[in-house]
Structure 1
Amino acid sequence: MSDSEAALARTVLIYGPLSRRDLGVKLGLSPASLTRLAKPLVERGLLVELEEVADGTVGRPSRPLDIAPNLGSFVGVKITGDLVIAVATDIRAEQIAAGEWPIADTSPEAVLALVDRAVRGLDVPNLVAVGVSLGGVVHDGVAVRASFLEWDDVDVATDLGARLGVPVSVENDVVALAEAERWFGAGRGLSGFAVITIGAGVGYGLVVDNEVIRTPDATAGTGAHIPLDPFGPICSEGHRGCAQALLTSGSITAQASAALARPVGYDEILRLAEDGHPAVSAIVGSAADALGRLIALATNLSLQSTVVLSGEGVSLLTIVHDRVLAAAAAGRDPHANPIDLIVDGSGFRAWARGAAAVAIQSTMDRMRSRRQ
């Protein structure tokens, strides 16, 4: 595909089916130019014309364009510190099958062999490509640093590509989640928003002008070390009162366990806070204030007023939702748009679908490269 054809196909893929009129508006093309551009994609079977529908304009009914449904299957994989979550999708990133596999051995060889088994275990027809997402620094298919797995410089794409016999794309998990939210999740239809994740780690992603921001630092986890409280606890990197020190489930459970002089889990902490336990309520309240400040900083610096909050730690919001919003509003200029906080509690399968979305888009990029 040419660059123009790829832009058309990608727009239909993410936002379709779309009338030619709507496509022309999105791409800034005249009806004649759009028809000329779409014709070879329809002839080659990448796009299909649907039944005529009235689009409210004068003239003959429009025949919307959609991506062809029979273009193969894709698998997205999310790797955590203890699970492999795999989701098979069609070309529209609609789920076909899914499963979870526990990780017993975090060595690269063992985990990648498990991913191989997971993908094959879904047994989808006509597998075209696989996408993998994991927490850490990722560049060109290599997990440069994945702290939850204790990996350094693991060439995930080459290894899995050789095992599976299909192209493999590798992405930072928060970047992949931002793709998921933009394409089919809470951010669908929005031109821009920030993504914040809380749980085992703290992540930050950004969508601007319908594009997920990808820079070398986008995978480095810099959002985890934004300072939020000069008197807060110290994180593993020695930063006092940063997002990681205040908002990760590990930090919250460590603080509560020390206060109670016994081991305590995250869910129990939330129950104790809801019951008004003084020490635990203070810890959870500090986390709520810190999260509100982080949300305010994300909106102020990104110039986006919508924040999608996700991750396995979002159950915190069931206890302190109003306090988080109050802290966020306190850090926002009164003339700025109100913050629209969207909580996505759909779990890690959405992250895996995001990895599938990355694989689908990488496939389209390869089609364009072959044309060039």
Structure 2
Amino acid sequence: MNDETRSRTALLRASSDASARVFTTILTRSPISRIDVARSIGVSQAAVTKAVNPLIAAGLVDDTLDSTLTGMPGRPVSPVAVVPDAMVAIGVKVNSDELVGVATDLTNRTIVSERMPLATREPAAVIDAVVAICSDLEEQLGPLAARLACVGVSVSGDVDTETGVVRDSAIMGWRSVDLGAALSERLTPRIVVDNDVRALTIGEHWFGVGLGTSSFAIVTIGRGVGSGLHLNGEVVEGAYGVAGEIGHLPLTSRDHVCPCGRRGCVEAVASTGAILAAVSAAHGRTVELDEAVALARAGDPASRESFREAGAVIGTAIASVVNMVGPELVIIGGEAVSAFDLFEEPLLGSYGEHVFASADRCRIAVRPHTFEDWARGAAATAIRSLVTN
């Protein structure tokens, strides 16, 4: 991190709430006129100008763009826009068997990416690997590495975003791992640790489907079943960093034991691990996901029933979320959506059976997310933390 980046970081961290909202609006809606910024956040144009001037001077915002890019008809307006490469963020998605890392600019556009296998899930080894993948990404960035300002790391499970402690991650087998502190001792940039689905939701909120959508939920299906909530323009984080844990709603039989140790969780039948365990047990041998999907599509009764049961319970869980918070859109993502044809009918049937009254106007959309998208979500959490303090 060079002196210019330190100065820019200090400026953002010292910003007032109003200034932070001005910069956030410019960041997520560039290019935009000052008058539209003022209208968007309910402040005066004078307040916007006061906030924008130091951002321009610091090289974070550009006001020399073509006036035809935005503005009211018949009224030339000088738009402002974020300078994308003024700062760089790294995002790392921690999976049970690998790390996926990206370096992005301020608009969450991927500059370089990297994947690194994990030989073990032991916290110390994973911390070493996170440091190593950050070093690799910095090397690939070349001169842009001097503009690295923040690092976001996302992990499945119960994560305290305030402290950076992973309180419980069934997939990683972790309890009370102080990931944030360990990384802060070894990495210079600002460190943010968050739940992986919430990080993905923050990325969609600031740089994806959340723009122009007042409320939405993301439900991810894969090694775990998770949910992120974006309500009334804000991502729901929960008082203790826990929100949207639909994978652990007790909606199935107590005969099913979840990796978290509890009984009856959605994840106990709907995660890819649970599906594969059921299919493998039925066939008396280990069955991998590609084969389970192929078997189900070929009509294998045990495989089809495993996907049907998973889809039905996920549909009930989604209906529970929609009934409770009333989003206008639910995005279904995660690595298992490649087999969504096997989930779709039971999922939508169960959802339709349980969703309440006018809440059924909520749209359901399928959007595949690559692991690079998850890593970009981790970077987005770091950018948001830097910008909004």
**How far is 1:58 from its partner?**
5.4
CA distance in structure 2 between the partners assigned to 1:307 and 1:340 by the alignment: 6
Q: Does 1:182 align with 2:205?
A: yes
1:250 and 2:273 matched: yes
Q: CA contact under 8 A between 1:182 and 1:189: conserved in structure 2?
A: no
Quick check: 1:329–1:339 contact (8 Å CA) kept in 2? no
Read off the aligned partner of 1:267 and give its amino acid letter.
Answer: D
Scaled by the length of structure 1, the TM-score of the pair is: 0.91
Tell me how far 1:236 sits from its aligned partner.
3.9
Match of 1:26 in 2: 40
Which of 13, 19, 23 is the aligned partner of 1:5? Answer: 19
Partner deviation per Cα, 1:267-320 (whole Å, 9 max, x = no partner) = 222211111122222221111111211111111111113111122222231323
1:303 maps to 2:317: no
Match of 1:274 in 2: 297
Equivalent pair of 2:107/2:207 in contact (CA under 8 Å): no
The alignment status of 1:134 with 2:155, answered yes or no, reads yes
- Describe the shift of the 1:158–1:333 C-alpha distance in structure 2 as closer, same or farther (beyond 3 A): closer
Is the 8 Å Cα contact of residues 170 and 259 (structure 2) preserved in structure 1? no
Give 3-state SS (helix, strand or coil) of 2:299's partner: coil
Contact 1:205 1:218 in 2 (8 A): no
**2:349 equivalent to 1:335:** no
Does the 8 A contact of 1:234 with 1:241 survive in 2? yes
* Residues 217-247 of structure 1: per-residue CA shift (max 9 Å, x gap): 5437732221333476333456554311121
The 5 Å alignment of 1:182-331 reads: 182-216=205-239, 218-219=241-242, 222-230=245-253, 233-236=256-259, 239-331=262-354
Matches of 1:108 and 1:283, distance apart in 2? 33
Q: Displacement, 1:352?
A: 0.7
Q: Please tell me whether the aligned partners of residues 137 and 172 of structure 1 are also in contact (alpha carbons under 8 angstroms).
A: yes
Are the aligned partners of 2:90 and 2:151 in contact in 1 as well (CA < 8 Å)?
yes
Query: Does the aligned pair in 2 maintain the 1:299–1:306 contact within 8 Å?
Result: no
Note if contact 2:304-2:342 (Cα within 8 Å) is conserved in structure 1. Answer: no
**Aligned-partner Cα distance in 2 for 1:27–1:285:** 46
Q: Aligned AA for 2:67?
A: E
Query: How far off its partner does 1:196 sit?
Result: 1.2
Deviation at 1:88, TM superposition (A): 0.4
Q: Aligned partner of 1:182: which letter? A: H
Q: Deviations over 1:77-128 (max 9, x none)?
A: 0101111110000111110000100001222221111111111111222221
Q: Which amino acid aligns with 1:29?
A: V
What SS class does the counterpart of residue 149 from structure 1 fall into? coil
Are 1:253 and 1:266, in contact at CA under 8 Å, matched by a contact in 2?
A: yes
TM-score (norm 2): 0.87
Distance in 1 between residues matched to 2:260 and 2:93, nearest whole Å: 25
SS in structure 2 at match of 1:309: strand
Identical pairs, percent: 36
Residue 54 of structure 2 corresponds to which residue in structure 1?
A: 40
The structural deviation recorded for 1:8 is 0.5
Change (3 A) 1:132 1:316: same
Structure 2 distance, partners of 1:186, 1:346, is 13
Q: 1:353 aligned to 2:376? A: yes
Match of 2:94 among 79, 82, 88: 79
CA contact (8 A) 2:69 2:79 kept: no
Three-state SS of the structure 2 residue aligned to 1:205 is strand
Deviations 1:251-272 (A, max 9, x none): 1111111222222122222211
1:3 maps to a residue whose letter is: D
CA contact (8 A) 1:194 1:206 kept: yes
Which letter maps to 2:299?
G
Aligned length: 366
Structure 1 match to 2:196: 173
Matched-pair contact (CA < 8 Å) for 2:229–2:244: no
239-248 vs 79-88, which moves further: 239-248
Structure 1's unaligned 5+ residue stretches are: 367-372
CA distance in 2, matches of 1:365, 1:185: 18
SS in structure 1 at match of 2:193: strand
Q: Structure 1 residues 188-197 or 178-187, which shifts more?
A: 178-187
Say whether residues 1:115 and 2:130 are aligned partners: yes
Q: Is the 8 A contact 1:252 1:284 kept in 2?
A: yes
Relative to structure 1, the CA distance from residue 362 to residue 335 in structure 2 (aligned partners, 3 Å threshold; closer, same or farther) is: closer
How far residue 340 of structure 1 moved from its aligned partner, in angstroms, is 1.5
Secondary structure (helix, strand or coil) at the match of 2:227 reads strand
- Counterpart of 1:98, as a letter, is S
Question: Is the 1:312–1:347 Cα contact (8 Å) retained in structure 2?
Answer: yes
CA distance in 2 between partners of 1:90 and 1:180 (Å): 13
Alignment partner, residue 159 of structure 1: 182
Secondary structure class of the residue paired with 2:168: strand
1:363, 1:236 → 2: CA distance?
34
Provide the rounded CA distance (Å) in 2 between the counterparts of 1:108 and 1:229. Answer: 32
What displacement does 1:157 show?
Answer: 2.1
Distance 1:343 1:71, change over 3 A: same
- Separation (CA, whole Å) in 1 of partners of 2:305 and 2:208: 33
